[in-house]
């Protein structure tokens, strides 16, 4: 190979360009900002669909937080010992009275 010839320069330029293209392809595939030819970063533009999905995601997270709080309250009620006492009182109320037996 002639190290000083134009083929060597073309090969270096081709390898550099190929590496840049592959790098940007991998970055785009994984959602990272893309690199332009001057080394600056270019972010992906949000489409209407992306904005709609973000709004729906925010709404679903708020609902999840709300239901998480409700589950915590229900767990507290179920594990509360006062519930057992209340259940025993209700069981006594439902049992037949002594005066009704006589």
Task: Say whether both 37 and 54 belong to one domain.
Answer: no
Q: What is the mean pLDDT of the chain?
A: 80
Task: Say whether both 14 and 52 belong to one domain.
Answer: no
The pLDDT confidence band at residue 15, using thresholds 50, 70 and 90, is very high
Task: Say whether both 33 and 61 belong to one domain.
Answer: no
Segments forming the whole domain that contains residue 80? 45-102
Encode the chain in three state secondary structure.
CCCCCHHHHHHHHHHHHHHHHHHHHHHHHCCCCEECCCCCEECCCCCHHHHHHHHHHHHHHHHHHHHHHHHHHHHHHHHCHHHHHHHHHHHHHHCCCHHHHC
* 100 pLDDT above the threshold of 60: no
Task: Say whether both 95 and 61 belong to one domain.
Answer: yes
Contact 33, 44 (CB under 8 A): yes
pLDDT of residue 55: 92
Cα angle 35-41-44, degrees, rounded to a multiple of 5: 90
Contacts of 74 (CB under 8 A, 6+ apart): none
Task: Say whether both 36 and 2 belong to one domain.
Answer: yes
Task: Say whether both 70 and 29 belong to one domain.
Answer: no
Task: Say whether both 66 and 97 belong to one domain.
Answer: yes
Angstrom distance (rounded) from CA 42 to CA 25: 13
In tens, the pLDDT along 47-94 reads 777 788 889 999 999 999 999 999 988 888 778 777 777 777 788 888
How many domains does the structure of the chain reveal? 2
Q: What is the pTM of this model?
A: 0.39
Task: Say whether both 39 and 69 belong to one domain.
Answer: no
Task: Say whether both 54 and 98 belong to one domain.
Answer: yes
Task: Say whether both 64 and 94 belong to one domain.
Answer: yes
């Amino acid at each position: 190979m002639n190290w000083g010839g134009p083929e060597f320069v073309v090969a270096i330029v081709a390898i550099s360009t190929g590496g840049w293209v592959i790098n940007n392809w991998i970055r785009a595939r994984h959602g990272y900002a893309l690199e332009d030819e001057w080394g600056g970063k270019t972010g992906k533009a949000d489409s209407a669909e992306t904005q709609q999905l973000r709004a729906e995601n925010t709404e679903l997270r708020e609902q999840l937080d709300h239901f998480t709080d409700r589950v915590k309250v229900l767990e507290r009620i179920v594990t509360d010992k006062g519930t057992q006492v209340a259940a025993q009182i209700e069981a006594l109320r439902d049992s037949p009275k002594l005066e009704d037996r006589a």
